C-alpha cells in the first residue's frame, strides 16, 4: 500500500471527479482521508528564558529548551534558521496560525511587535504589539495573535519580534506556537 498523501482541495477534486469507469481508487479515498483529518504542528516552551537583546531586526529566539507539540499530516517542525521554532508545511493550503507567549521588557515606552513571518521575510498580518509604561516596568505581558495565511508546500513560518527603535533586553516567558490547516 502506497503512502497516504495529504492533498490540496483542487487536487482531490480532480482525483474524485468521476467514477463511471472506476477511476477512483482506494488510495484516492485514503488521500482524501488524511487530507481532511488534519495537518498541524508547532512548538511550546515553558522554561524561564535567559534575557536577550532585541533590536529593530525581527527575531523570536527562545534560548532555552523548546518542545514540539504533536504533529500531523505533512507538517514538520525544526530548529533550523535561528528562531528555534520553525514550522514547515508540506501541503499547499490555508492555515490558521496561533501563538501565545509572555514577554518582559526592562525599559519603558518602547513598542515591541510580535508577529508571524513566512519564508523568513514576509510578515503575516495582523501583528500584536506591547508597550511597557512606567507603571508596568518589567511586568510580564501576554502577547497573543491569530492569523490566517495561504502557504505553499515547502513554505515555513516562524514567530518574530522586534522593537520599534533601539535595542533592549527582553525576557521571554512561556510560549506556544502552532499551525492548523483549514482547507
Partner 1 sequence: MADTVRSLGYLVDALKDGGPVTPQKMRDFLVSRFCGLTGLTGFYIAMTGFTDSTVPWRLPAGGGQTFTAGNGGLAMTARTDLAPDYCRLVAQVSGTFALFWAVRAKAVNTSIFGWARTLYLYKGTGEGEDEALDGLVTAWTRMGEWEGETSDAGRRLVSMAGIVQLQPADYVTVWGKTSQNGTPGSGALDTSTTSAFFLGMRIA
The site for partner 1 (CB under 8 A) is made up of 1, 4, 26-27, 29-30, 33-34, 36-38, 40-42, 44, 46, 69-70, 72-73, 98-100, 102, 104, 135, 138-142, 144, 173-174, 176, 178, 180
Minimum Å distance from CB 170 to partner 1? 14
Q: Which residues of 97-128 are buried (b: 16+ CB within 10 A; e: fewer)?
A: bbbbbbbbbeeeebebbbbbbbeeeeebeebb
Minimum Å distance from CB 81 to partner 1? 21
Residue 46 or 120 having the CB closest to partner 1: 46
Q: How far apart are CA 166 and CA 30, in angstroms?
A: 53
Residue 54 or 179 having the CB closest to partner 1: 179
Minimum Å distance from CB 20 to partner 1? 17
Residue 55 or 131 having the CB closest to partner 1: 131
Kind and range of the H or E run holding 50: none
Q: How far apart are CA 29 and CA 44, in angstroms?
A: 34
Residue 56 or 78 having the CB closest to partner 1: 78
Nearest to 132 by CA among 94, 159, 105: 105
Q: 129 vs 31, 72, 96, 115, 134, CA distance in Å?
A: 40, 31, 19, 9, 17
Minimum Å distance from CB 36 to partner 1? 5
Residue 36 or 120 having the CB closest to partner 1: 36
Minimum Å distance from CB 104 to partner 1? 7
Amino acid at each position: 500500500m502506497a503512502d497516504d498523501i495529504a492533498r490540496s482541495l483542487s487536487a482531490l477534486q480532480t482525483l474524485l471527479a468521476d467514477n463511471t469507469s472506476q477511476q477512483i481508487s482506494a488510495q484516492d479515498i485514503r488521500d482524501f482521508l488524511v487530507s481532511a483529518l488534519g495537518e498541524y504542528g508547532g512548538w511550546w516552551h515553558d522554561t524561564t528564558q535567559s534575557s536577550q537583546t532585541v533590536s529593530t531586526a525581527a527575531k523570536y529566539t527562545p534560548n532555552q529548551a523548546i518542545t514540539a507539540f504533536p504533529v500531523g499530516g505533512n507538517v514538520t517542525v525544526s530548529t533550523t534558521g535561528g528562531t528555534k521554532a520553525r514550522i514547515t508545511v508540506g501541503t499547499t493550503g490555508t492555515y490558521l496560525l496561533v501563538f501565545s507567549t509572555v514577554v518582559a521588557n526592562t525599559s519603558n515606552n518602547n513598542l515591541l511587535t510580535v508577529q508571524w513571518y513566512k519564508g523568513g521575510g514576509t510578515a503575516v498580518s495582523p501583528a500584536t504589539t506591547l508597550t511597557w509604561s512606567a507603571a508596568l516596568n518589567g511586568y510580564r505581558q501576554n502577547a497573543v495573535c491569530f492569523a490566517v495565511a495561504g502557504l505553499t508546500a515547502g513554505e515555513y513560518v516562524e514567530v518574530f519580534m522586534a522593537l520599534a527603535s533601539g535595542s533592549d533586553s527582553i525576557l521571554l516567558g512561556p510560549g506556544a506556537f502552532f499551525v492548523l490547516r483549514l482547507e
